């Protein structure tokens, strides 16, 4: 008897066997009946004996065949179970191999039982090299000990372990990873090993660091913006008070004989006020609330005027050398911007020097041709005046050089630098159509070279000093609008002393009401920029509806954004006077605005 259907069951085989036995019994009964009907008693007896023997033999054969079928079926069932198990194992192995993260499993002694392809790729080790080995066979002892200790702890406590660590891949690259391990049980319910997965979180950590960096920069920028607003507001209020101090001190100086002791006292008051005004200008520069008014300058004269301040800035341990070039062409930029550039470069050089050192400031002429620009894409051909600042500090490496002009980039310790100094220099130079070159070597120092385009125009004359004659008017009618009453009274006194007819208004609304009652021509409107009700620019527009040819002079101790473009450069034809100002400056600016010779 053979089995052709692998899916046949034991019950089916028993049923088949019974059916065969029943068929044989029927046949035997038929044969026996035939013997009874046709044979003699003796013959029948012999036939019965033969029949019984035949039945016994058949039964024995069938019984043997049944036993053989049971064995065959048992083998078949065992084979089927093994086949199913093999298929299940193959499917599990396929799943394990295709999982894109490293997976491994170990025995209770911490020896590797197996792992997937991602694990092989990460560590560069094959199964033949790793199976049956522990951490001590693969990595250095000092690294293996803590890993093995965690394996033992897992088995002793039968707990799940999740921890963050670093692992080195086959290329020697260090990765931030999370290892997740858990024990598994055998068929008898006993712990026979553990399985672990390795999650690479390097990119996540890098992104997290970058997010923290950006958040820190945002917080820093917001802090700087807040401090800038505070500085600007303080400078505005301070400038108003300084204007009163300087204005009255200046007028008093003109009334007191220079030999009088009071003249010396007033001069000291005036000098202290002037120094205070310089501080407020620095605050405004920090807050970026100054109007930019480019002027034609002699760079040598500008630098020489700053040397005293720069020497105080860098300290006594550092020597400041000044090497002015001869025959420089003029340049055009805001003098305050030049102050910022030099101050930031010298502070940067000072901080690069440890102990005693030297900073050299030098000017010269340079011509950039087309050939040079091919290899220096940021440059344009032309004639330039150069300003270089060289220090004997520690120098910079290539990575640092590549980032020095980026906002918020700094090599200083936290809290010791804003990272905005050199980016400010870069922005100012670019705003004035110039370029910056940097040469630096570790241990040898750094040189910054600023290229400013020459400006073919005559250099402006220096401002008049306080002792020069104040220019007078000829009865021109001036309306002054200022929300600070004490300053308003000061300006009225100053302008009347200069020979002008002065009207005053404490608010824009009062000024507009006054304009409708005038019976004589209004020659000039002098207005503060920042006021309640209405800003100075809008007030001037309202006045131009009534007096289209009216001249306007704006003044402010805070911001000129309303009367300047986004770069801070004053709009074409706008006359502006930065608070605080002296009587002479006011008189000169009034005459310039009125177009008087």
pLDDT one digit per residue (tens) for the chain, 597 residues: 333 444 445 455 445 545 544 554 554 554 455 444 545 555 555 566 666 676 677 677 667 756 766 776 676 677 667 667 767 777 877 887 888 899 999 988 888 998 999 998 888 888 888 888 888 887 778 878 888 888 888 888 888 989 998 888 888 888 999 999 999 887 777 778 889 999 999 999 888 887 887 776 577 556 546 655 666 667 677 777 888 888 888 888 888 888 888 988 988 888 888 877 766 665 565 555 555 667 888 999 989 988 888 888 888 888 899 999 988 889 988 887 888 889 889 988 888 888 888 999 999 988 887 777 766 667 788 889 999 999 988 888 877 777 777 655 566 655 555 556 777 777 778 778 888 888 888 888 899 999 999 887 655 543 333 344 556 778 899 999 998 888 899 889 889 988 999 999 999 999 999 988 888 889 999 998 888 888 888 999 999 998 899 999 998 876 555 555 444 455 667 888 888 888 888 888 898 888 854
Nearest to 477 by CA among 435, 517, 536: 517
What pLDDT digit, counting tens, does each position of 43-86 carry? 555 566 666 676 677 677 667 756 766 776 676 677 667 667 76
**Angle, helix 335-352 to helix 307-314, in steps of 10 degrees:** 30
Distance (Å, whole) CA 347 – CA 448:
13
User: How is the beta sheet containing 435-441 ordered, strand by strand?
Assistant: 318-323, 357-368, 382-391, 445-453, 435-441
What pLDDT digit, counting tens, does each position of 234-293 carry? 767 777 788 888 888 888 888 888 888 898 898 888 888 887 776 666 556 555 555 566
DSSP 236-303: HHHHHHHHHHHHHHHHHHHHS-TTSHHHHHHHHHHHHHHHHHHHHHHHHHHHT-PPB--EEE-HHHHH
Q: How many CA atoms lie within 13 A of 548 on its CB side?
A: 0
Give bridge partners of residue 114 from the DSSP assignment.
Answer: 105
Which H/E stretch holds residue 224?
Answer: helix 202-255
């Amino acid at each position: 008897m053979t089995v052709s259907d692998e899916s046949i069951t034991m019950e089916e085989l028993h049923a088949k066997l019974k059916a065969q036995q029943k068929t044989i019994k029927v046949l035997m009964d038929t044969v026996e009946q035939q013997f009874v009907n046709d044979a003699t008693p003796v013959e029948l007896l012999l036939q019965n004996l033969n029949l019984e023997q035949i039945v016994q033999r058949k039964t024995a054969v069938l019984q043997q065949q049944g036993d053989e079928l049971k064995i065959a079926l048992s083998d078949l069932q065992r084979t089927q179970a093994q086949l199913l198990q093999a298929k299940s194992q193959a499917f599990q192995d396929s799943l394990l191999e295709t999982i894109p993260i490293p997976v491994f499993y170990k025995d209770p002694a911490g020896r590797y039982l197996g792992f997937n392809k991602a694990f092989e790729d990460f560590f560069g080790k094959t199964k033949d090299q790793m199976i049956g080995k522990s951490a001590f066979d693969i990595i250095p002892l000092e690294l293996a000990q803590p890993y093995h200790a965690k394996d033992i702890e897992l088995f002793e406590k039968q707990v799940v372990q999740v921890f963050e660590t670093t692992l080195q891949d086959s290329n020697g690259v260090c990765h931030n990873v999370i290892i997740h391990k858990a024990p598994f049980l055998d068929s008898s319910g006993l712990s026979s090993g553990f399985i672990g997965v390795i999650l690479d979180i390097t990119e996540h950590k890098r992104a997290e660091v970058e997010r923290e960096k950006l958040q820190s920069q945002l917080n820093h920028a917001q802090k700087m913006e807040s401090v800038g607003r505070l500085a600007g507001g303080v400078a505005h209020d301070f400038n108003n008070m300084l204007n009163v101090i300087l204005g009255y001190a200046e007028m008093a100086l003109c009334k007191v004989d220079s030999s009088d002791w009071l003249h010396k006292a007033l001069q000291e008051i005036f000098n202290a006020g002037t120094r205070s005004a310089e501080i407020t200008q620095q605050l405004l520069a920090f807050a970026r609330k100054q109007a930019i008014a480019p002027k034609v300058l002699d760079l040598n004269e500008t630098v020489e005027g700053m040397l005293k301040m720069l020497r105080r800035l860098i300290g006594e341990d550092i020597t400041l050398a000044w090497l002015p070039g001869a025959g420089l062409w003029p340049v055009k930029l805001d003098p305050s911007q030049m102050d910022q550039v030099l101050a930031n470069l010298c502070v940067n050089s000072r901080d690069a020097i440890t102990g005693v050192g030297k900073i050299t400031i030098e000017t010269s002429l340079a011509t950039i041709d087309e050939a040079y620009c091919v290899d220096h894409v940021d440059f344009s051909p032309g004639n330039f005046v150069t300003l270089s600042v060289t220090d004997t500090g520690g120098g910079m490496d290539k990575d640092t050089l590549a980032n020095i002009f980026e906002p918020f980039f700094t090599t200083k310790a936290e809290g010791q630098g804003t990272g905005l100094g050199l980016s400010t220099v870069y922005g100012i130079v670019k705003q004035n159509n110039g370029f910056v070159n940097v040469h630096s070597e570790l241990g040898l120092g750094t040189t910054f070279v600023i290229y400013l385009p020459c400006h073919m125009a005559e250099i402006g004359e220096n401002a008049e000093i306080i002792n020069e004659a104040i220019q007078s008017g000829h009865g021109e009618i001036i309306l002054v609008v200022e929300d600070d009453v004490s300053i308003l009274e000061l300006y009225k006194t100053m302008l009347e002393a200069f020979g002008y007819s002065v009207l005053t208004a404490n608010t824009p609304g009062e000024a507009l009401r006054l304009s409708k009652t005038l019976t004589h021509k209004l020659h000039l409107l002098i207005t503060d920029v920042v006021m309640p009700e209405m800003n100075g620019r809008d007030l001037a527009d309202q006045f131009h509806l009534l007096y289209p040819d009216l001249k306007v002079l704006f003044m402010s101790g805070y911001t000129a954004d309303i009367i300047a473009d986004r770069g801070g450069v004053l709009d074409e034809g706008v006359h502006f006077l930065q608070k605080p100002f002296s009587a002479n400056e006011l008189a000169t600016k009034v005459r310039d605005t009125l177009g008087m010779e």
